[in-house]
């Protein structure tokens, strides 16, 4: 009976009883893609407490099971978070926590593993509009959370009843509301926190004329000490952001219902989340981030983010790999925890959007939607222009030359194409001495936008478009000599050139940076009377001499016993656009018996270097050292955070020459003849690598 009153009171607020907005003929077949395979599935409405729930993403039946967008569970009060690294979604409602990982049939309920049928594993599903969403099994999740679910056979639709909670309630336990307060996050938009003595059972309604949010909390009594009451109404004057004031009343007794009315100055969306202890409610007024579309704005290709409000944004550029991040503050992602768009504009390869778990830059209860623009391989330091029109955020990739030029890097080949506005003749001039390629074409054959784009892919430095008399010129500045072939016809409307590094490179064209580890105040490992920094420097000098004798261009990050920061070591190689970076170290281990060689390489692709290439480099060098010295192979180690191999833009390895903690190897490492053997082996490795790359 109690429950009915609360439901009824809400129905009275709405002033009407809506009818289910579905029809049996809505059961369309749609084609979706899961794990790279196409499936035909049946679109189906899902009824929640008699209402069809539409969040703009289709629910569907796949192999007899209904899948809903993960956001769906928020409609019945559960909280969703997403870990992009592990592709794991966490759904929390009251005392239940469910962890599910994409494509995994292991489901964790309050930490306990349950293995479900493979077909029930959560999926990343791409719809025909190219939007990718996380879809979860509707029945499994709702049942774990304790809701009544079923199948309405007359309408052929699944339903969930949240009002008839299967978990028995302890009705005698009326909770107390102990505080209502207003807090601010990183922006000045206030949030409301309601504290109670037990779990909240509540319903909400957002009303107009005047704008207000009504929150009814069931089985609750007021026990507020810090809030002034007038005629039975607690009043908090806020006058900040969208909130003008908050009224709190004991709306009814037996059943006990507390009503909190938030008076708003404008129509604004809200998020209501349970606190971590389930004994509080956090209400934030948020912008909802809807679709991101590729559109043409004033003749320029642009990304448009559709919002329900005008959020503040933070934009930052991140490296390794290059990407531009736009954080939308006080925002919530309509589509759920994660969406991907394959929008390809200018330097932008892909757009990823997520409900971002606040990091150190933010307060822990901030609501942030993070939009990540992934940058095409080979393009460095791109820029965007952000404009706001009403509730739309418009992002235009700034380098306008990308409207005329295409650039791609595949393997070792770069392809540069110019889109002419008609079939045209053109001239290609390659100056191998100045390392410049110039493509000239008649001015009227190009919609000329003069501009410049930095590339820095190890071969192409930058591309410039200029006007010279009645010619348009595309100037490609190179870092080193190139081989090229013309892919387009003599007369063509798309002029394409493929470029790769000259395969007859002279040794002097190869720049190798040798990095003796540690130095100065930092001795590295000190064992058996030997300083690591000294061994590293001695072997590095020998590598340097050997390479110079063979005609290579070399740079040492230190030539003496001096201290150099790790970042600076990587910078030296980057500034000099080195071809290779070799860091020399010696090892230590608590077990004095351990001996042998380790080679560390970066565990991920870098901007211009594929992981395979650095792995091959590490492997070749290991082979040569083992062959040359007879030392034991102690393994190739993939490392993610080792600065010198992570932050260098070229293939790089860190070689551990041996263990100073092993008395025998320590003696060898201090021996000039052995050092010479190590250096020669490493040089042979470098030369073998250059034969391939």
| Binding residues for Zn ion (CB under 5 A) | 517, 524, 585
| Long-range contacts of 462-465, Cβ-Cβ distance < 8 Å, separation of 24 or more | 463/401, 463/405, 463/407, 463/416, 464/401, 465/401, 465/404, 465/405
Name the residue nearer to Zn ion (CB basis): 558 or 585: 585
Name the residue nearer to Zn ion (CB basis): 397 or 517: 517
Classified as helix, coil or strand, 533 is: helix
Question: Cα dihedral sign for 335, 273, 65, 159?
Answer: negative
How far is the CA of 221 from the CAs of 250, 258, 282, in angstroms?
7, 6, 18
Name the residue nearer to Zn ion (CB basis): 75 or 585: 585
Name the residue nearer to Zn ion (CB basis): 259 or 585: 585
Smallest gap, in angstroms, from Cβ of residue 509 to Zn ion? 31
Smallest gap, in angstroms, from Cβ of residue 588 to Zn ion? 8
Name the residue nearer to Zn ion (CB basis): 66 or 536: 536
Name the residue nearer to Zn ion (CB basis): 196 or 517: 517
Give the closest residue to 157 by CA, choosing from 75, 59, 50, 44.
44
Smallest gap, in angstroms, from Cβ of residue 625 to Zn ion? 16
Question: Cα dihedral sign for 74, 86, 34, 65?
Answer: negative
Smallest gap, in angstroms, from Cβ of residue 656 to Zn ion? 7
Tally of CA atoms within 13 A in the half-sphere of 110 that contains its CB = 6
Name the residue nearer to Zn ion (CB basis): 569 or 585: 585
Smallest gap, in angstroms, from Cβ of residue 518 to Zn ion? 6
Name the residue nearer to Zn ion (CB basis): 77 or 524: 524
DSSP code at position 171: T
Smallest gap, in angstroms, from Cβ of residue 183 to Zn ion? 48
Smallest gap, in angstroms, from Cβ of residue 662 to Zn ion? 15
Smallest gap, in angstroms, from Cβ of residue 536 to Zn ion? 7
Smallest gap, in angstroms, from Cβ of residue 513 to Zn ion? 17
Classified as helix, coil or strand, 624 is: helix
The helix-helix angle for 532-549 and 672-692 (nearest 10°) equals 50
Both structure tokens of 401: 């030359």
How far is it, in rounded angstroms, from Cα 241 to Cα 244? 8
Is residue 29 exposed (0-12), middle (13-18) or buried (19+ Cβ within 10 Å)?
A: exposed
Name the residue nearer to Zn ion (CB basis): 334 or 532: 532
How far is the CA of 183 from the CAs of 109, 245, 274, 364, in angstroms?
32, 14, 15, 12
Residue with the two structure tokens 């064209």: 509
Give the residue nearest to Zn ion (CB): 585
Smallest gap, in angstroms, from Cβ of residue 528 to Zn ion? 15
How far is the CA of 341 from the CAs of 124, 236, 258, in angstroms?
13, 43, 43
Cβ(235)–Cβ(253) under 8 Å?
no
Name the residue nearer to Zn ion (CB basis): 234 or 524: 524
Name the residue nearer to Zn ion (CB basis): 62 or 585: 585
Q: How many DSSP H helices and E strands does the chain contain?
A: 8, 52
Both structure tokens of 460: 């192409």
Smallest gap, in angstroms, from Cβ of residue 566 to Zn ion? 11
Classified as helix, coil or strand, 678 is: helix
């Amino acid at each position: 009976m109690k429950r009915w009153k609360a439901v009824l009171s809400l129905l009275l607020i709405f002033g009407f009883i809506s009818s289910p907005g579905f029809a049996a003929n809505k059961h369309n077949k749609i084609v979706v893609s899961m794990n790279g395979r196409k499936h035909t599935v049946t679109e189906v409405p899902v009824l929640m407490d008699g209402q069809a729930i539409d969040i703009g993403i289709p629910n569907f039946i796949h192999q007899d099971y209904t899948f809903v967008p993960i956001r769906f569970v928020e409609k019945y009060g559960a909280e969703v978070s997403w870990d992009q690294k592990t592709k794991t979604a966490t759904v929390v409602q009251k005392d239940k926590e469910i962890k599910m990982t994409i494509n995994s049939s292991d489901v964790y309920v309050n930490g306990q593993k349950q293995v479900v049928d493979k077909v029930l594993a959560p999926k990343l599903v791409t719809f025909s509009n190219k939007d990718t969403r996380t879809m979860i099994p509707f029945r499994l999740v709702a049942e774990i959370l304790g809701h009544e679910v079923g199948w309405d056979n007359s309408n052929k639709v699944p339903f969930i009843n949240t009002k008839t909670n299967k978990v028995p309630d302890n009705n005698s336990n009326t909770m107390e509301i102990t505080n209502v307060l207003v807090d601010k996050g990183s922006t000045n938009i206030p949030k409301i926190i309601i504290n109670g003595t037990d779990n909240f059972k509540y319903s909400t309604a957002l009303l107009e004329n005047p704008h207000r949010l009504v929150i009814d909390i069931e089985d609750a009594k007021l026990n507020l000490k810090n809030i002034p009451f007038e005629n039975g109404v607690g009043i908090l004057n806020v006058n900040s952001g969208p909130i003008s004031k908050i009224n709190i009343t004991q709306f009814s007794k037996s059943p006990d219902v507390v009503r909190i009315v938030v008076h708003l100055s404008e129509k604004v969306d809200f998020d209501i989340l349970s606190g971590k202890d389930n004994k509080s409610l956090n209400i934030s007024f948020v912008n909802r981030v809807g679709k991101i579309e590729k559109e043409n704005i004033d003749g320029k290709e642009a990304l448009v983010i559709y919002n329900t409000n005008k959020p503040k944004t933070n934009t930052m550029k991140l490296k390794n790999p290059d990407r531009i991040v736009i954080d939308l503050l006080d925002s919530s992602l309509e589509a759920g925890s994660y969406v991907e768009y394959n929008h390809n504009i200018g330097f932008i390869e892909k757009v990823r959007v997520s409900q971002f778990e606040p990091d150190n830059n933010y307060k822990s209860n901030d609501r942030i939607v993070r939009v990540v623009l992934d940058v095409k391989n080979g393009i460095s330091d791109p820029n965007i222009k952000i404009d706001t029109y009403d509730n739309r955020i418009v992002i235009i990739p700034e380098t306008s030359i990308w409207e005329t030029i295409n650039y791609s890097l595949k393997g070792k080949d770069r392809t540069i194409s110019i889109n002419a506005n008609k079939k045209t003749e053109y001239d290609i001039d390659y100056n191998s001495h100045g390392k410049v390629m110039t493509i000239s074409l008649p001015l009227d054959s190009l919609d000329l936008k003069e501009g410049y784009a930095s590339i820095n892919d190890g071969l192409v430095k930058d591309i410039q478009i200029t006007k010279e008399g009645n010619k348009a010129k595309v100037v490609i500045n190179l870092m080193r000599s190139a081989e090229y072939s013309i892919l387009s016809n003599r007369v063509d409307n798309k002029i394409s050139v493929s470029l790769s590094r000259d395969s007859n490179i002279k040794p002097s064209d190869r720049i190798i940076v040798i990095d003796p580890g540690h130095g100065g105040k930092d001795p590295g490992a000190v064992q058996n009377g030997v300083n690591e920094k000294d061994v590293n420097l001695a072997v590095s000098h020998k590598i340097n001499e050997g390479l110079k004798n063979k005609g290579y261009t070399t740079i040492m990050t230190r030539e003496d016993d001096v201290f150099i920061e790790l970042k600076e070591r990587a910078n030296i190689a980057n500034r000099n656009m080195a071809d290779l970076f070799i860091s020399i170290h010696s090892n230590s281990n608590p077990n004095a018996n351990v001996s042998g060689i380790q080679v560390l390489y970066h565990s991920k692709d870098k901007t211009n270097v594929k992981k395979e290439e650095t792995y091959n480099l590490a492997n070749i060098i290991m082979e040569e050292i083992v062959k040359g010295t007879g030392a034991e192979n102690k393994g190739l180690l993939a490392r993610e955070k080792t600065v010198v191999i992570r932050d260098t833009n070229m293939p790089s390895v860190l070689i551990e020459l041996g263990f100073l903690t092993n008395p025998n190897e320590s003696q060898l490492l201090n021996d000039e003849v052995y050092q010479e053997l190590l250096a020669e082996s490493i040089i042979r490795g470098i030369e073998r690598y250059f034969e391939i790359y």
